[in-house]
């Protein structure tokens, strides 16, 4: 963009700002002009930062002082300048006002996730997409760049699990409410172990009682208990066992059209053979055999009668061989976040036996106990749900494959 074009855009913006009767189309054109000017400024700013980097031992401090901003923001400006220097076509599109600083930052973020040896290839691919940046939103362009990064990773011979481990991140920050936040991304093996440890702690601490202030809504309750379990784990409370994962090998004797067992574990991720093999060395592996909605075999005691109201781990394991989620039709709350409901209620003489237990999420469990929902189980776990308004919903025998 030359000086004449810059002057024209400044005059257009000034004219619209000064016109109290400006029409929407004129305002939109002025906004485009402002975006184009901002792009030109960011491109020139990248050049200035690049010149400063080679002349200063601590350029971030100078940038922060000039911009009246933080060192972190200055570091981001330096990264953007380095990306622009490595992608001349993108820098040109930015200088013409067709792209924005957000497009450049999308390339920077994607390149940062790759090892140094692969970054150059991504930068070259991103530079070749300069025309795409000029006609797409930041979000659209970011997805395209991320796709190119994944293609580079998939072609570098690295096993997927190793790439996932390399992509692990954990960050913390304080929000505007003064709450300390934690966010992490982990590979599936680590995720299963962390999930197992956290779930075991929740069970150990809150099986009978919940902390004050615990919400009633199912998802909120799960998140609340998980947060408190994590806090108590810091003090050594809860389960003393490490995060030892468990996965099931479910053999469906009726699955003649899909022969072979199903490996199931607590978190819904793809399970490559390599991952299962590595997990097996530090996990409990159990086999559950099912047929037409009935558990033919599962390890442990499955019928406790009236000796206890609480289901044991063996019963949960057996039911997980049939149900991936809450048994109520259409509910997607995962099995390990469900409560085991006595179909014939405990208070009415129901037994803690496998054929009287059904995994139901907290929300629907409350509906059964307080809103008049009636559940019936057939001989092959066919579920009939009768609602107070007369509606009846039915399902056939559950299968882990159908889920």
pTM over 0.75: no
pLDDT at position 266: 53
Give Cβ neighbours of residue 347 (< 8 Å, ≥ 6 apart).
none
The answer to whether the CB of 385 falls within 8 A of the CB of 329 is: yes
Of 207-221, 248-262, 316-330, least confident by mean pLDDT is: 248-262
Please check the confidence at residue 119 and state whether its pLDDT lies above 60. yes
pLDDT at position 402: 47
Over residues 50-68, the pLDDT tens digits come to 999 999 888 998 999 999 9
Output 114 or 96, whichever has higher pLDDT.
96
Taking residues 171-195, report their average pLDDT: 87
Please check the confidence at residue 20 and state whether its pLDDT lies above 90. yes
pLDDT at position 403: 43
Beta bridge partners, 297, equal 289
| Distances from the Cα of 18 to the Cα of 8, 14, 30, 105, angstroms | 15, 6, 12, 33
162: pLDDT confidence band, cut at 50, 70 and 90? Answer: confident
Output 334 or 314, whichever has higher pLDDT.
314
pLDDT at position 195: 81
Over residues 250-260, the pLDDT tens digits come to 777 766 555 55
pLDDT at position 278: 57
Please check the confidence at residue 245 and state whether its pLDDT lies above 70. no
pLDDT at position 280: 56
pLDDT at position 35: 94
Please check the confidence at residue 309 and state whether its pLDDT lies above 70. yes
Distance, CA of 34 to CA of 56 (rounded, Å): 32
């Amino acid at each position: 963009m030359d000086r004449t074009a810059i002057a024209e855009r400044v005059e257009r913006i000034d004219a619209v700002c000064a016109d109290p009767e400006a029409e929407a189309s004129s305002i939109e054109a002025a906004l485009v002009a402002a975006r184009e000017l901002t792009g030109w400024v960011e491109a020139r700013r990248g050049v200035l930062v690049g010149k400063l980097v080679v002349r200063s031992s601590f350029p971030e401090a100078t940038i922060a002082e000039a911009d009246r901003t933080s060192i972190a923001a200055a570091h981001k400006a330096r990264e953007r300048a380095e990306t622009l220097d490595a992608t001349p076509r993108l820098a040109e599109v930015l200088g013409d006002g067709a792209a924005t600083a957000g497009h450049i930052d999308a390339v920077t973020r994607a390149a940062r996730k790759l090892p140094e040896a692969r970054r150059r290839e991504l930068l070259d691919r991103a530079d070749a997409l300069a025309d795409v940046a000029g006609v797409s939103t930041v979000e659209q362009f970011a997805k395209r760049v991320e796709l190119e990064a994944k293609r580079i990773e998939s072609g570098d011979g690295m096993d997927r699990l190793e790439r996932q481990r390399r992509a692990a991140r954990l960050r913390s920050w304080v929000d505007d409410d003064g709450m300390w936040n934690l966010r992490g991304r982990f590979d599936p093996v680590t995720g299963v172990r962390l999930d197992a440890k956290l779930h075991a702690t929740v069970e150990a601490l809150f099986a009978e009682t919940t902390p004050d202030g615990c919400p009633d809504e199912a998802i909120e309750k799960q998140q609340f208990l998980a947060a408190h379990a994590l806090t108590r784990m810091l003090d050594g409370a809860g389960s003393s066992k490490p995060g030892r994962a468990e996965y099931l090998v479910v053999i469906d004797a009726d699955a003649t059209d899909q022969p072979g067992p199903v490996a199931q574990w607590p978190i819904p991720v793809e399970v490559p053979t390599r991952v299962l093999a590595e997990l097996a060395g530090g996990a409990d592996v159990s086999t559950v055999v099912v047929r037409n909605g009935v558990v033919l075999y599962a390890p442990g005691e499955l019928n406790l009668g009236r000796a206890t109201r609480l289901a044991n781990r063996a019963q949960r394991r057996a039911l997980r061989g049939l149900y991936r989620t809450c048994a109520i039709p259409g509910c997607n709350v995962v099995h390990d976040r469900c409560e085991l409901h006595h179909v014939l209620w405990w208070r009415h003489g129901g037994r803690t036996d496998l054929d009287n237990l059904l995994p139901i999420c907290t929300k629907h469990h409350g509906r059964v106990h307080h809103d008049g929902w009636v559940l019936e189980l057939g001989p092959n776990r066919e579920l009939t749900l009768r609602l107070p308004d007369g509606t009846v919903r039915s399902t056939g025998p559950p299968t882990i494959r159908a889920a």
